[in-house]
């Protein structure tokens, strides 16, 4: 009984962290058809922003939820204006340019913070449940990712900005004809996507030892989750994160963490072979 509860929490946690990792990438890809391979480094910078702010004496939750997204969002804004703006509509070129950016940011972080591991302690203590110890911070991550999904859904469905963004997503030329500049919309979207990446990196920072190359661990998973999710933003993100998260945890508990990771990757290959348009390309069509 205790074990099944622990496994349930672990599964929810795996799904939640996949959603968290992929949300920023999904917003940028879903709205702008831009694959940002520097996404992992945006998360890494979110982590460093948090740790720096905490070391300067800021409350850890303020640092994670306010400062990190703002800092990374602004960096994203600069990147969009300088590089990505020139490459809209050229999918492969944006991938290559952002890959270059990712290397650039790794180098920059190494020069500023040094090639050493830094970290902060988890702000929420763990507790015992029966014979098992559960990390209390896992619940915080689940909470944040649920809040994140609800917030994105709310913004897209219920606000005027969301309406404009969805319109530009479907027909950029029509949105332009109605007087909304797609250039501005893309800029704002990229800012939001980067801020989400920063938030994810900040929230996950206490769980991992942060090094300048930490981003590499996230990018592949985020990339896979978003592509496997397919064209719908929220439905795709949720369905593919659930699928991969559950597979990962089942194999982790049954065999070992490494096999869990490998099973996730193999599942991704099989899934893309069977549904080359992603999950929402075949099911839940036309949903958000």
Partner 1 sequence: MPGSLQKDVLIAVVVTALLIWLMPLLIGTYTLTVLVIYGMLGLSLGLIWGFGGILCFGQAAFFGLGAYTYAIAAINIGESTLPMILAVLVPAVFAALLGAMMFYGRLTDVYLGVITLVVTLILFKFINSTAGPQYVIGTARLGGFNGIPGFQTLNVPGDPEAYIWGDAYFYVCAIALALVYLLVSVLLRSSFGRIAVGIRENETRLSLMGYDVRARKTVLFAVGAAIAGLAGALFANWGEIVTPNLFSLGQSAEIIIWCIVGGLGTRLGPILGAAGLAYLKFLLGQQSLVDNTLITGLILVLFVLFLPRGVVPALAGLWRISFGRRPLGRIHQARRHRRRERGHG
Q: Which residues bind partner 1 (CB under 8 A)?
A: 35, 83, 86-87, 91-93, 95-97, 99-108, 110-111, 216, 220, 223-224, 227, 258, 261-262, 265-266, 268-269, 272-273, 276
User: What minimum distance in Å lies between the beta carbon of 268 and partner 1?
Assistant: 5
For partner 1, give the closer residue by CB, 138 or 214.
214
Question: At closest approach, how far in Å is the CB of 198 from partner 1?
Answer: 19
Q: How far is the CB of 24 from partner 1 (least distance, A)?
A: 18
Smallest separation (angstroms) from partner 1 to the CB of 211: 13
**DSSP tag of 198:** H
Q: Which residues contact residue 237 at a Cβ distance below 8 angstroms, ignoring those fewer than 6 apart? A: 19, 22, 23, 26, 149, 225, 226, 229
Helix axes 215-229, 257-274, angle to 10 degrees: 30
CA-wise closest residue to 220 among 212, 230, 210, 228: 228
Q: Cβ closer to partner 1: 104 or 180?
A: 104
Identify which of residues 159 and 282 has a Cβ nearer to partner 1 in the complex.
282
Of 203, 204, 243, residue with least CA distance to 227: 243
Q: Of 5, 23, 70, which is closest to residue 240 (Cα–Cα)?
A: 23
Q: For residues 206 and 278, which CB has a smaller minimum distance to partner 1 in the complex? A: 278
Least CB distance to partner 1 at residue 106 (A)? 5
Nearer to partner 1, 160 or 273 (CB): 273
Look at the block and give the residue holding tokens 């597979």. 247
């Amino acid at each position: 009984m205790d074990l099944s509860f622990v496994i349930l929490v672990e599964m929810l946690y795996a799904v939640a962290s996949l959603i968290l990792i992929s949300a920023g990438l999904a917003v940028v890809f879903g709205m702008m058809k831009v694959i940002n391979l520097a996404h992992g480094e945006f998360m890494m910078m979110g982590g460093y922003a948090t740790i720096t702010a905490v070391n300067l004496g800021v409350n850890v939750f303020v640092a994670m939820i306010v400062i990190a997204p703002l800092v990374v969002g602004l960096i994203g804004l600069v990147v969009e204006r300088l590089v990505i703006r020139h490459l809209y509509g050229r999918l492969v070129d944006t991938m290559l340019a952002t890959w270059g950016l990712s290397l650039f940011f790794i180098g920059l972080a190494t020069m500023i913070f040094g090639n050493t591991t830094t970290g902060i302690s988890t702000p929420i203590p763990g507790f015992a449940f029966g014979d098992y110890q559960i990390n209390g911070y896992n619940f915080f991550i689940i909470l944040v990712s649920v809040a994140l999904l609800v917030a994105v859904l709310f913004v897209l469905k219920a606000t005027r900005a969301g309406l404009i963004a969805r319109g530009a997503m479907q027909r950029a030329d029509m949105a332009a004809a109605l007087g909304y500049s797609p250039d501005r919309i893309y800029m704002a979207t990229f800012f939001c996507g980067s801020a989400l990446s920063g938030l994810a990196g900040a929230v996950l920072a206490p769980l991992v030892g942060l090094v300048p190359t930490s981003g590499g661990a996230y990018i592949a998973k985020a990339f896979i989750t978003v592509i496997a999710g397919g064209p719908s933003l929220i439905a795709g993100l949720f369905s593919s994160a659930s699928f991969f998260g559950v597979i990962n945890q089942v194999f982790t508990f049954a065999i070992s963490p490494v096999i869990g990771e490998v099973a996730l990757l193999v599942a991704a290959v099989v899934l893309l072979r069977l549904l080359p348009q992603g999950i929402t390309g075949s099911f839940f069509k036309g949903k958000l």
